[in-house]
Every structure is written in C-alpha cells, then in structure tokens.
Chains A and B, each alone.
Chain A
Amino acid sequence: MSIDPINFLAFLGMAIVTYFTRVAGLALAGRLNLSPRAQAAFDAIPPAVLVAVIAPSALATGWAETAAAAIAALAATRLPLLAVVAVGVVAVVAFRAVM
C-alpha cells in the first residue's frame, strides 16, 4: 500500500480546481448573466469533455471497439446507466473474439 508522490500531486491539483469550481458560485451569485449562446456552450461542456476523453478508445483503437461503442450508444437511448455498461462490455468481448 503506497502513495506515489506524483500521483498525490495530481490528486492535489484536481482537488484544488474542483473546490474552486464549487465555491466560485458564492462570489458569482446573482451576477451571472449568460447569453443563450454562452449558456448552450456551458451546458455542452460535460458531453464535449466526456466524448473527447473516450474518442481514441471508441474511434481510433480497432473495429471491435468502434462497433461496440455504436451498440452502447444505441443501448443508451433506452437503457439505464449500468445496463449500457454491461451491453458495451459484452459487445466488445464478443467482437474481439470474432474480429
């Protein structure tokens, strides 16, 4: 059981920026007036970041991964979170076996 110093540095940096985002609202309350366009861009941050993080594994790894990602995306339109994960994992194992 050990703590790598560089890992700890990463945790610390992540914790500081996260805490900043959580308390920044105290200073901004009532003063934040975003245009509808800026609001749309702000709302788009979570999906944009999530997709940017997984795109290499979904689109640039192999056909098995890309096909499994497509099936997971289809499943995501009707199934709850954990079911989508299960479908994606089973699909990638099956595609890797046949491709």
Chain B
Amino acid sequence: MSTMRDDIRRGLSDIWPAAVAAAPIGLLFGAVAASKGLSPLEVFLMSVMVFAGGAQFAAVELWATPAPVAALVFSTLLINARHILMGASLAPKLQGFSRWQKFLGLYYMADENWALAEKRARTHRLTPAYWFAMVVPFVAGWLVNSTLGATIGAVLGDPKRLGADFAFTALFIALVAAFWKGRVTFWTVAAAGIASAVTYRLAGPPWHVAAGALCGLLAAWLAAGSEARARAVAIEEAEA
C-alpha cells in the first residue's frame, strides 16, 4: 500500500525528465510570441489559461493585430480535440479523485502527464497525490520558461534576422514526425499541405487552417478505408 508521501515522490521523479525536455520549448515559444507583439504578461496569461504547447504554438503562428479570435479558437479546438479521447481513456482510472479534484486536475492534462498517468495506472491505483505532484512542477516550468522566453525575445528584436521566424515551421515539421504512423499520415500531410497552401494563395488567412485540416482528415479517412479493404481482401484470399 503506497502512502501519500510515496506517491508524491513518485510523481515528481516521473515528471522531471519531461519537464526538463519542455524547458527549451517553453523559452522558444515565449521568444516567438514576443516577436508577434505579445507582452511577457500576455504570454504568461495565455500559458496559465490555455496550457497546451502545440495549440499555443499554432496560435502564435496565426497571431496578428487585432487578434483573429475565431480562427485562433477554431485552431485551438482542432488541435486539442485529441484530449477528448485521452480524457475518456483516463476518466475510469480516476476513482480515487473527488469531483473537484477531477475537474481541477484535468484542467492541466497534457500529453506528457497523461501518458505517465496511463502508465502508472497499469500497475498502481492512480491517486490525486501522484497526479498533482506531476502537474504542479510541469505547469510551473511551462509558465516560468514561456514568460522568460518572452522577456528575452523582446530584447533580441527582429526574429527574422536570426531565422527565428522559421523556428515554428521546423518545430512543427519535427512534431509531425512524432505523430507519424506510416501511409495514412503521408496522405494526411500531403493533402493538408497542398490544400492549405492553395487556400492561402486564393483566399488568404485564416481560411487555410480549416481548409488544410479538413482535407487532411478526409485524406486520412479515405486512406484508412482503403487500408482496411486491402486487409479484408488479403484475408479473403488467404482463406480461399
């Protein structure tokens, strides 16, 4: 039987590598947000209110003055839609949580602490002590690093001079590689890229995000269907 102290210690030791890996990403996020004209206080507010790395990066890439609110909210909803599945999978494992611990704890559910909690739940009962021991330092790190990055970025000046405006594009390419699942992802990326670039040229921002994302999803749907059919045909042939 694990005590609360053990769970806290365990949560801290599980989360620290992820928190260290996220530190430079937080700094980078803050710096590029500053280059779009967001103040360090605004960067802090966005991080504390939204707390979603991928969605925040996408938002800052789309940022303009005045802020295109509908496009930003829509892009955020799309990118974070995966949380619905993550939460549905985690929810039955939160039996040791009170109602408010669930609603408070899930506010800061991110890819990293979700994955660690799922892993922990395979062998142990998931406790609030473990969850919050992971969440508190992870969130604190993101807030400190993104705000610090914004403060430093404001001093550095024009990011284009250093190629920093391209850091987003490179970062997103690296993130796509992390989501890679073979052929279906290839068609998703090809359709999303072409549809987005064409829409950007013809209709201008922010429509390229919705057009590209929806064409990417459609391509995934079609590619996955043809894959399932190919498998079914292979099974029929094997049985014949």
Mark A residues whose CB is within 8 Å of B: 1-4, 6-15, 17-26, 28-30, 32, 36-60, 65, 68-69, 72-73, 75-77, 79, 81-82, 84-85, 87-90, 92-93, 96
Contact = CB atoms under 8 A, between A and B. Distances in A.
Contacts of B91: 25-26, 28-29
Given A13-B73, A28-B87, A55-B212, A49 B103 contact: no
A6 B65 CA distance: 9
B209 A52 contact: yes
Contacts of A93: 162-163
Contacts of B40: 1
Interface string B143-164: 0000000000000000000111
Contacts of A12: 49
A96 B205 CA distance: 24
- What bracket does the count of chain B residues touching chain A fall in? 35 or more
Contacts of B188: 44, 47-48, 51
Given A20-B77, A72-B174, A76-B177, 18 more contacts: A3-B42, A10-B59, A14-B72, A23-B103, A25-B87, A36-B228, A40-B224, A41-B221, A43-B179, A48-B212, A49-B79, A50-B176, A52-B213, A52-B216, A57-B168, A59-B197, A73-B177, A85-B171
A52 B212 contact: yes
A43 to B, nearest CB: 7
Contact of B83 (A21, A47, A57, A82): A21
Please report whether the interface of chain A is mostly helix, strand, loop or mixed according to DSSP: helix
A84 B174 contact: yes
B215 to A, nearest CB: 8
12 contacts: A17-B80, A18-B77, A22-B87, A29-B91, A30-B92, A43-B181, A45-B79, A49-B213, A51-B196, A55-B212, A73-B173, A82-B25
A7 B60 CA distance: 11
B17 interface: no
B233 to A, nearest CB: 15
Interface of B: 24-25, 28, 38-42, 45-46, 49-52, 54-55, 58-59, 61-62, 66-67, 69, 72-73, 75-92, 102-103, 106-107, 109, 162-181, 184-185, 188-189, 191-197, 200-201, 205, 208-213, 215-221, 223-225, 228
Given A7-B38, A15-B49, A53-B58, A44 B185 contact: yes
A7 B171 contact: no
A36 to B, nearest CB: 6
B69 A9 contact: yes
A92 B173 contact: no
B170 to A, nearest CB: 3
Contacts of B89: 25, 29
A3 B192 contact: no
